[in-house]
Structure 1
Amino acid sequence: MKLFTTHLTFSILLFLGVHGLSFAQNAEQTAVLDSLSAIYYNSVYTQPQVAKRAAVKWLEGSRELQLELQEVRALYALGNLSNITGDYKNTIAYTNDAITLLKKLEIEKGLAACYNIIATAYKNLGEYPKAIDNFMECLRYSEQTNNKVQEANAYQNIATLYLLQKKYKKSAENLDRAANLYREIGDDDGVLTTLFNFANIQKEEGKFDEARKHYNTVLGYREKEGNKAVVAYVNINLSQMLVEEGKCEEAVVALKKTLALLEELKFNSDITIVLNDLGLCETKLGHTSSAIRYFQRALAIGEEQSLSRYKSDIYKNLAQLYQEEQNYEKALEYYQKGVTSVAEQNTLDKEKYVANIQERYETQLKEARIQLLEKEQKLSEAELQKAELTVKRQRLVRNALISGFILVLITLIILRLSYVKRLRVQKELSLQQEENAKQKINQMINDHKLSVIERYQEGQDEERSRLAREIHDGIGSDLASIKIAFEHYSEQHNNDFQSKRIATAISNACVDVRSLSHQLHPLSFSKIGFTSFLNDFIDQITQKSAIQIQTFFFPEEDIDQLPEVLLADAYRIVQELINNILKHAEATHVDVQLTRHEDHLNIVVNDDGKGFQKNKKQGIGLRNIKERLQKVQGTIEIDSSPGRGTSITIDIPIHI
């Protein structure tokens, strides 16, 4: 499987260009270096050898002129080129030098790109822990420098790492993150690269038709661009699907065509993959000699590039071929090399296979010795038969011992795994039960708290209603009677100034009592309109004080149509906030704004008062407001500081 793991654009290769302008550089000298960087970029995917020569001259010129930023760019370019061509050791060396120089210059921009490339190299070498560590560094510096391109690249490369470990779901999740970032910044090339890797997932899952459709889409775009590297990558995967489908003859033709393109580009690690696939095809077609030649060529390149991930497969393939040819000495040699390169190989399978090959090899040696003795000493037929029976008996005894040992070991391993699994399940169940108990207790506490708040507020409302009735029916009725009696009296004293003054005072008292009664227990808002009622309350406040209060309702008609219970809570909240401002804020101007949204009512109250510190102990008014909001699942935000006024924003959910 070939993964397209690094999405690069020219802007990344020039990630330090802006910083370089701050240094006094000779125009002619920098022009030469810029021309070398242009040659590198134009040939990196089509003529890698030309690109390498340009990058080396670029690095030498930068060091000769002591232009450190140009040196960093050249090092990064060489690391990127080594990564493309499969020279992963040089990728790590060049990129580490670039990182060291960037940190010396105290420049963070560019570190994300460097860590991304070095992580990809470690991944291709099979050193997954180092790869993921460097991907994490890439993401950290991408966030610090707001580099969404490198953040997307990192997610894409992490996806390919999960794909190598056959964790397809996690791979797809990281590809989705990368694709969303590419779309956000308008990077169509990056989106196309994620499409390629989605096709890789479908290929690994056996969805060949869907994968082939996506591969051909990518291939069409890249052939138009002349991007030979990606064209080769796509063809490798298309050929591998033919191998999986058993179309080996068709696959051999496609693989040879791809091999020619890779040899032109000198992409050694990819040449190893194609040679290995050719060896597999020739094996299935029964061309053993051709298969061995392809595997030997792949092995030579793999040794040079330290591609341990491929060496183990090649060793095993060669061991299998030599075993079929009954060359057990070679088979044993290559299988032991394969086992050494993959330490995590199942121990029982290795021992069983090695024992089998070793037994055949020893048997072959014994048979050769018997034949030699027959020729040299002319042993009798009976002696030969006895020797053969001895060999067979030894073989049966050995096989029985090996089989018994393997059976016992497998049984012990299964029992151990079952015990560990049962302990893990019991622990998880215990933790889950404990968590459920905590959640249930917290829910009961919250329900009880809400119930207490609700009963408290219901008690407040009932007490206000009672007080309103007492004031309206008692004091209000008495004042009305006094007013009527005094009016009869004043008719006989029309010119008495004192009588008019008393009549005015009685009328004002009646208005105040009625206003107080309505504030304590307002009439149904559906009858008088909530906004009108709230405006009347605010008008009464402004008439009695020097403060100016402005109200804004958006839209007024929709607010009046809200449920009575919600409007009652909103009225009490605004009333409490205005009273707090009058008592404590020393403000001269207040804005009250109510806005109805689709799912909530927004209340904003601003004043130009003296403000307060947020960590100051809150009074009863704010506590009542918060308890009321807690009952209706509302939220409150307070923005205030001494001398700068106060802004309070409240959201009340609308449940219709």
Structure 2
Amino acid sequence: MNKRALLSICLLLVSISCLAQNQGAFVGFGNLPVKTPDSLLRHLKQAGDIKARMLATQSLTAFHAAHGTTDSVIFYSRQMIDAVNNSAVKDHDKLSYQSTLYHTLAKAYSEQGLHDEALRYYLEGIRCAEALNDNAAVNENKLGIANVYFARNEYNKAIEAYNDLLNTSHDEQLIHIAYQQLGIIYLEKKDLATAKAYTEKALLFFRQEHQLKNELQTKLALGIIAELNQHTEEAFSIYNEVKNNAEAQQFFDIYINAGQRLGDLLIINKEYEDAKRLLSLVYTNAIQWNDMKAQLKALNSLRTVHAATGDYENAYAIMTQYMGISREMLNLQNKKEINELEIKYHTVQKEKEILNKENELQHQKTIKYSLLIGFLVILLPVIGLLYMYYQKLQAQSKLNATMDEMNQQKIAVLLKDKELALLKASVSGQEKERKRIAEELHDSIGGNLAAIKLRLSNQDSVNGLKEVIKQIDDTYIQVRDLSHDLIPQKFNNTGFTELIAGYLRQFDVPGNAKISFQAYPREEIDLIGTTLKVEIYKIIQELITNTQKHSQASKVEIQLTKIDGLLKLLFEDNGKGFSVETTKHGIGFQNIRERLKLFDGALSIDSFPSKGTVIDIEISLKPEWYEA
């Protein structure tokens, strides 16, 4: 990241923290504002057996869950899970403790935005609850899984799961939480009437039951509905009320969400400086509570503010922070283990069916194993010798394979270097030859024809001479047009950034993704060489084509920036994304990589299913790549 941009962001955060001390401002806390009560810690320390420790841990996790400090919930839950797993309590009690702890841990991970980890522990909770025949606990974990589907934007699966709970559960609390979540889903689907109906049902129940935190969360959803219905003043009033009540009750997760919504509303009203101050505080508080999901939202809004005010340098720096946090979240999720648990959950019934058959075969296997063991005892010395010989052969084979691979790599590197050098020389030669021919046609041949025309025009007019003059005039025009055609005119007669903007405006039609393009500084970017302009233009065309075909995005943002001797192209969409590790890149990306080889450019792709795609391209600018 540019050091100057980073320093300016840090100074902004410090200054805002000072301003936050004013009465009525959004508070930025210097330290974590939730301190664990000494009585709860003392209770845990003095607990003797595993049952007492479990009760003390439940009190601690309930306290921190109510105040949104999910890191503490995770710490104490995992500590207690280890203690239960290593204890000698009865199997029934162990399953009961595990069921409770897994559900608590899953909710905490879900609130942090680590949905794959949350799914892992909800599935473990269902396993324990089914073993205990505890239908209520099964339904609570199913509700959690439905929430995970919602968080991963798998709305149809989430709606099906919530409706299943409404049809099977008799727990009023779970039913109205399902109403609350269905309201949020239909809000995301822009079905505002249905969303409002579900949300108002949930709000009435939470208000009657004096469940203040759920009531504030539901009011926040009503504020979003009011905002989408263009009732800006009503939305602003709701967000402010929720923010103040959440601060008073120390519900800091809701406090952050309300601040985020207020900041986004200020952006819509173009109150950019107030939005910048408020969102910077939201980001600071999200860091203090280690809420990476909230950090991503705040950074995305801050980037929008800086771009809207023309501060593209800080916008790019904030985008770099955004990508770093996004990668950190992905690295924290153990996808392989989670997928295995999910498959195991869906196939548990089949495992039960074959369990009886396995028991029948077990007796026969025991007899066969006894005979086999006796036979192996006799063969052990022979097997040992054969194994040593085999290891020796394997080591020699690996050494040979390694040597062959190293030789192949050296040959491949040499061939690629040679191919790249030839390609660069070919392109450079073609460009020089085109310019030389154009200059020759324009300066020499064109000049000669013009002189002949002038001399013939000064002679006495006769019919023959008129025809000759007309033919020479036509020839001169053809030569001039040919010289102009040899150089791409649209890259010479039009500003490069305006050329790109004009191309992108073709896609500004209903039903297409909304495309935003910023270039900074435009004057310096317009001065880069024609060859580099052509390749950048074609790369943007390729990326737009890929997005139109595959991404199903509703929004695309393109930033072209020249900074510190680098030309940076940042291309982001909010489409369905893909797995970078498993998806094979098509011809489009291969073409882009080949174009970048001409300029020693670097391509970085950051994508994940349902999370959109970010493509980052960097080219080190050299003096010969500028216009003469």
Larger radius of gyration: 1
TM-score normalised over the length of structure 1 = 0.46
TM-score relative to the length of structure 2: 0.48
